[in-house]
Amino acid sequence: MVFAIEPLNKGHDRKSFQCGQADLDDWFQRRASQDDKRNVARVFVACDDKHGVIGFYSLSSFTLTIDDLPEEIGRKLPRYEAIPAALIGRLARDIRVRGRGIGELLLADAVGRIISAGRTLAVFAIVVEAKDAAASAFYEGFGFRPFPQHPRRLFLLTSTASTAVERL
C-alpha cells in the first residue's frame, strides 16, 4: 500500500472515514477543516489510492505547568507559569486499514513534525489525549507517560523523542 501524509484540504473526502469512535469520526467529518481554518489545530491526513483518507491527526500548541509534570521532571525546570508543549489532539486510522501500522506511521509523522518545529519554536514535551485504555496503551508503547493527575493525558519529552529519531 502506497500512501502519503499531507495537510487536510477541500479535496479530501472525509465522509467515508470511520475509525470506530463516533466522536472522532464526527470531529473529522464536520469540524476538522473549521479548526484548521481558525488556527486552532493543524490537521494532517494519510491517503492511499485505494481507500482515500485512511487516517488523520491534529497538532496544536499547548502549555503545561510545573505541577502537571511528575516531580522528578518538574523540579529541574525554571518556575515559569507556562511550559511550552505540542498537542497531538486527535489521531485515528480508518477501520478499513486496522492492523496495517497506519496509527504508528501517523504518530511518527506527527512527532517528526513537532521535532522539526522545535528547531524554531521551543517545545518541551509532546502531549496526547488518549480516548480510552487501549489508546493509552498504544501511546505508552512508544514511551509516552501519563501525567500524575490526568492518567489519560500522556507526554513524551521532546528531547527523548529527538534522541530516538536520531538513532533511526
Domains (range + CATH), the chain: 3-167 (3.40.630.30)
Q: Is a pLDDT exceeding 70 seen at residue 1?
A: no
C-alpha to C-alpha distance for 144 and 147, rounded to whole angstroms: 10
DSSP string, 116-162: HHTTTS---EEEEE-SSHHHHHHHHTTT-EEETTEEEEEEEEHHHHH
pLDDT per residue as tens digits for the range 9-64: 998 989 999 999 999 999 999 999 999 999 999 999 999 988 899 999 999 999 99
C-alpha to C-alpha distance for 107 and 56, rounded to whole angstroms: 10
Q: Which of 44, 124, 138, 139 is catalytic?
A: 139
C-alpha to C-alpha distance for 55 and 103, rounded to whole angstroms: 7
Active site residue 139: yes
C-alpha to C-alpha distance for 52 and 3, rounded to whole angstroms: 9
pLDDT band at 163 (very low <50, low <70, confident <90, very high): confident
Q: Is a pLDDT exceeding 70 seen at residue 168?
A: no
Q: Which amino acid is at 53?
A: V
pTM comes to 0.92
Q: Is a pLDDT exceeding 80 seen at residue 167?
A: no
